[in-house]
Amino acid sequence: MSDSTVLVTGTSTGFGRLTVEALARRGHQVFAGLRDVTGRNERAAAELTALAAAEGLRLRVVEIDVTDQDSVERAVREVTEAAGRLDVVVNNAGMNFAGPVEAYTAAEAHRQFDVNTLGALRVNNAALPYLRAQGHGALIQVGSLAGWLTPPFNGLYAASKAALRSLTEAWHHELAPYGIEAVILDAAAYPTNIGANAAMPADQQRMALYGETMTRFVTDLVARTTAGAATIGEASQVSDALVALVETPHGKRPLQTLVAPPAQYAAVHALQEQANAAARIVADDMGIGAYLAAR
Ligand SMILES: NC(=O)c1ccc[n+]([C@@H]2O[C@H](COP(=O)([O-])OP(=O)(O)OC[C@H]3O[C@@H](n4cnc5c(N)ncnc54)[C@H](OP(=O)(O)O)[C@@H]3O)[C@@H](O)[C@H]2O)c1
């Protein structure tokens, strides 16, 4: 299938950029979401527009800052007016706050959730009236293994992705009766800009309390997420999986997709199976099993 209309957020670099280029080259009608297209992402917007012209792709840049309600609503309107439909939304935009939880103010924590969690909520809320009217659609969230397992010095990020996972499960159950699928792709660490661009807490004094351990941890994390494919694999493994998920026939997309090196995959896959079985048992025991969608 190569004629879905797809909106992807956060496509300046990384998974999002690879995904929109791959989807467009496979014939889909693709809207590449970028924030600040006349400022920080002017170059990415020009490159994507030039690629579309050079290769005759149905690839168009749409401005969307997922933390801005008006921007999100404008973008979804632009897509649906231009395309007359919207089949798949990929909530990929994200950022990473690295550092001990203690060093963050609530305002900084809010910023982490605003992008990674509430960003998807805004986009999905804007898209849902169109998807509901169509009677079909898919909401794909880009999650993380950190949404299942929380490492130190990455607690805000992990919490934002765990919350995104919970929201996805709720959307999955609630929207299935309306023909709308909500699923999540959880990725391990792959080389993109996210590690190097990690935001640090403003309170350097509290950061300093964690001293050398914290510094070494960040160095290791950045090295890991910017390292070559030889050690962890390519970011395209994630974009390939996103493309496959977009192209999975409607009604067949699994709630959870996992992209990870073999040992991590095996461990988290087992955890997911156990969590899914537990969710079913608890719901049945509470007498609400009939309201759960298939996973
Ligand atoms: N790389 C990994 O190891 C990994 C693992 C698991 C999950 N993930 C998730 O994968 C997704 C993509 O990340 P990536 O690794 O490809 O990193 P990336 O290269 O840094 O891409 C992140 C994208 O999100 C965009 N973004 C940030 N804030 C935004 C906002 N307010 N509105 C709209 N777009 C915004 C960025 O745009 P700007 O250029 O304008 O900042 C950028 O295009 C994220 O959700 C991330 O949490 C990554």
**For 211-220, how does the pLDDT look when each residue is reduced to its tens digit (9 = 90+)?**
888 888 878 7
Sheet holding 180-187, edge to edge: 59-63, 29-34, 5-8, 88-91, 137-144, 180-187, 256-259
**Residue closest by Cα to atom 44 of ligand 1:** 94
Say whether 130 is catalytic. no
Q: How distant, in Å, are the alpha carbons of 17, 34, 38, 57 from that of 53? A: 17, 18, 19, 7
Minimum-distance ligand 1 atom for the alpha carbon of 116 = 45
Give CA–CA dist 150/282, Å, rounded. Answer: 24
Alpha-carbon Rg for the chain, nearest whole angstrom, is 19
Segment among 9-13, 69-73, 218-222, 286-290 with least mean pLDDT: 218-222
Q: How high is the mean pLDDT of the chain?
A: 94
- Choice among 104, 130, 157, 265 that is catalytic: 157
More confident residue, 10 or 230: 10
Q: Which domain holds residue 282?
A: 5-291
Work out the average pLDDT over 194-199. 84
Minimum-distance ligand 1 atom for the alpha carbon of 235 = 1
Work out the average pLDDT over 179-208. 91
Pocket of ligand 1 (CB under 6 A): 9-16, 35, 40-41, 64-67, 92-95, 115, 142, 144, 187, 189-190, 192-194, 197, 225
Segment among 1-15, 36-50, 230-244 with least mean pLDDT: 230-244
pLDDT at 229: 46
**Residue closest by Cα to atom 45 of ligand 1:** 94
Distance (angstroms) between ligand 1 centre and the Cα of 15 equals 8
Count of domains forming the chain = 1
Asked if residue 24 lies in contact with residue 59, where contact means CB atoms within 8 angstroms, the answer is yes
Give CA–CA dist 203/196, Å, rounded. Answer: 19
pLDDT at 231: 59
Whichever domain contains 38, its CATH number is 3.40.50.720
Q: How distant, in Å, are the alpha carbons of 21, 186, 188, 252 from that of 74? A: 23, 28, 32, 30
Bin 179: left if φ > 0, else alpha if -120 < ψ < 50, else beta: left
**Residue closest by Cα to atom 32 of ligand 1:** 65
Q: How distant, in Å, are the alpha carbons of 43, 54, 239 from that of 34? A: 11, 20, 17
Segment among 36-50, 120-134, 191-205 with least mean pLDDT: 191-205
Closest among 259, 197, 251 to 19, alpha carbons compared: 259
Query: In this predicted model, what pLDDT tens digit does every residue of 61-99 receive, in sequence order?
Result: 999 999 999 999 999 999 999 999 999 999 999 999 988
Residue 267 scores a pLDDT above 80:
yes
pLDDT at 2: 66
- % of the chain beyond a pLDDT of 90: 83
pLDDT at 215: 81
Work out the average pLDDT over 193-207. 87
pLDDT at 112: 97
* Confidence bin at 29 (pLDDT 50/70/90): very high
Give CA–CA dist 20/15, Å, rounded. Answer: 9
Q: Which two tokens stand for residue 133?
A: 């009217």
Residue 5 scores a pLDDT above 50:
yes
